């Protein structure tokens, strides 16, 4: 008897999950359409994307609203719709954005202009907060993001680089796939002190074992009142950062947590190894290194295809 009840219960749970999945998909798509019909384009563009900033873990933990939000958004983590009609702040149009949620992250989905939600959100933040005549260094050059920032800041004002291997010289140009690109190692940048207004770093800091050294190098080349804007896979529920792999002084890499976590890399088909899952300890490290006004900015905007709890981090010199 117990067994039968258990079977019925399991079946009921399964049906309910399927049902909720359909509802959740319809809900999101319809909600988006309803909102679009209700508001004009100006409203959509100006609609608040940035809803919360926090300076440390305790600050974050003490906010009940964000906890409620995380709980609610959790539902859609599994049942995100297959596509969304959303507004792209890079090309300034509505487009049908396909979810690529198979990767399992909100941040890498709803693509437009070759950029996923994480990169489009970063772009929106940057163009809303920084003037075109800023002197900018960005830690990438072969990407659609680089092109977008080059268009915005102007090619005279922006400089980009890639890490091309530890045998290369920082600041020198090398041919890569017929492109002449600059090599930089972020732990020993070739730029002068106090030479940049803005530094943009997207999904780089999880790949630098000695990330504190890289943070102080960036601080060195920033002008006073200059700003670092970065994104990392940010583990907001954790105070501590988790070391996934370790780099010895000899350069040898020792994997601590198996299997190795490898992310896509535009200059290396074999990918880039992640050394860290950064928690709020990363924010404390930025403060220790000497950044002021360090903040984690969380955002979400259904109109623009930024689902879930997305984040970027800023610090001033
Ligand atoms: Zn676009």
Q: How far is the CA of 122 from the centre of ligand 1 (A)?
A: 13
Alpha-carbon distance of 306 to 303, in angstroms, equals 8
191 shares a domain with 76 = yes
Q: How far is the CA of 117 from the centre of ligand 1 (A)?
A: 10
Residue 13 pLDDT more than 60? no
| pLDDT tens-digit map of 46-99 | 666 666 788 999 888 887 767 666 666 554 555 566 777 788 999 998 888 887
Q: Which of 54, 130, 119, 70 is nearest to 283 (CA)?
A: 54
Q: How far is the CA of 198 from the centre of ligand 1 (A)?
A: 23
245 shares a domain with 126 = yes
Provide the pLDDT for residue 80: 61
Q: How far is the CA of 49 from the centre of ligand 1 (A)?
A: 17
Alpha-carbon distance of 305 to 286, in angstroms, equals 30
* 29-58 mean pLDDT: 65
122 shares a domain with 5 = no
293 shares a domain with 276 = yes
The whole-model pTM stands at 0.84
Tell me how far the alpha carbon of residue 216 is from its chain's centroid.
21
Residue 27 pLDDT more than 70? no
34 shares a domain with 120 = no
CA angle 103, 199, 202 (to 5 degrees): 5
Q: How far is the CA of 92 from the centre of ligand 1 (A)?
A: 7
Q: How confident is the model at residue 272 (pLDDT cuts 50, 70, 90)?
A: confident
Provide the pLDDT for residue 140: 93
Q: How confident is the model at residue 124 (pLDDT cuts 50, 70, 90)?
A: very high
Alpha-carbon distance of 107 to 215, in angstroms, equals 23
150 shares a domain with 79 = yes
| pLDDT tens-digit map of 175-231 | 988 889 999 999 999 999 999 999 999 999 999 999 999 999 999 999 999 999 999
Q: How far is the CA of 86 from the centre of ligand 1 (A)?
A: 10
Cis peptide leading into residue 220 (ω within 30°): no
Q: How far is the CA of 93 from the centre of ligand 1 (A)?
A: 7
Higher pLDDT, 8 or 283: 283
Q: How far is the CA of 303 from the centre of ligand 1 (A)?
A: 13
| pLDDT tens-digit map of 158-167 | 999 999 988 9
207 shares a domain with 81 = yes
Provide the pLDDT for residue 195: 97
Q: How far is the CA of 90 from the centre of ligand 1 (A)?
A: 5
118 shares a domain with 71 = yes
Q: Which domain holds residue 32?
A: 1-38
Q: How far is the CA of 111 from the centre of ligand 1 (A)?
A: 8
209 shares a domain with 167 = yes
Q: Which long-range contacts (CB under 8 A, 24 or more apart) does 153-157 make?
A: 157/132, 157/133
Q: What does pLDDT average to over the chain?
A: 84
215 shares a domain with 143 = yes
* 19-36 mean pLDDT: 54
Residue 36 pLDDT more than 60? no
Tokens of 162: 């890639």
28 shares a domain with 87 = no
Higher pLDDT, 309 or 175: 175
Number of domains in the chain: 2
Q: How far is the CA of 97 from the centre of ligand 1 (A)?
A: 9
Q: Packing angle between helix 117-129 and helix 144-153, nearest 10 degrees? A: 10
117 shares a domain with 258 = yes
Alpha-carbon distance of 170 to 163, in angstroms, equals 9
Residue 23 pLDDT more than 60? no
Alpha-carbon distance of 284 to 55, in angstroms, equals 9
User: Where residue 87 sits, what CATH number does that domain have?
Assistant: 3.40.50.150
| pLDDT tens-digit map of 231-268 | 999 998 899 999 999 999 888 999 998 898 888 887 77
Q: How far is the CA of 127 from the centre of ligand 1 (A)?
A: 14
Alpha-carbon distance of 250 to 248, in angstroms, equals 5
């Amino acid at each position: 008897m117990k067994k039968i009840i258990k079977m019925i219960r399991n079946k009921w749970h399964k049906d309910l999950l399927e049902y909720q999945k359909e509802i959740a998909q319809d809900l999101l798509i319809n909600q988006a359409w309803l909102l679009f019909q209700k508001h004009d384009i100006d409203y959509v563009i100006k609609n608040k994307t940035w809803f919360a900033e926090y300076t440390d873990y305790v600050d974050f933990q003490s906010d009940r609203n964000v906890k409620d939000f995380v709980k609610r958004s959790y539902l859609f983590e599994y049942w995100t719709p297959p596509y969304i009609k959303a507004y792209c702040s890079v090309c300034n149009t509505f487009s049908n954005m396909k979810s690529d949620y198979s990767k399992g992250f909100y941040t890498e989905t709803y693509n437009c202009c070759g950029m996923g939600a994480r990169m489009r959100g970063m772009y929106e933040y940057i163009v809303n907060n920084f003037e075109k005549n800023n002197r900018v260094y960005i830690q990438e050059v072969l990407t659609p993001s680089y092109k977008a920032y080059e268009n915005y800041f102007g090619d005279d004002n922006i400089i980009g680089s890639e890490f091309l291997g530890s045998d290369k010289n920082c600041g020198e140009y090398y041919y890569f796939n017929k492109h002449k690109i600059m090599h930089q190692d972020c732990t020993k940048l070739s730029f002068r002190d106090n030479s940049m207004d803005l530094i943009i770093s997207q999904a780089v800091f999880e790949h630098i074992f000695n990330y504190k050294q890289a943070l102080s190098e960036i601080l060195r080349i920033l002008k006073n009142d200059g700003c670092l804007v970065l994104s990392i896979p940010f583990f907001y529920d954790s105070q501590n950062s988790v070391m996934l792999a370790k780099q010895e002084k000899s350069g040898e890499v020792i994997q601590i947590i198996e299997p190795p976590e490898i992310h896509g890399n535009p200059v290396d088909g074999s990918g880039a190894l992640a050394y860290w899952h950064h928690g709020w300890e990363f924010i404390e490290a930025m403060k220790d290194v000497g950044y002021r006004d360090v903040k984690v900015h969380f955002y979400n905007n259904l109109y623009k295809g930024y689902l879930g709890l997305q984040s970027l981090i800023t610090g001033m010199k």
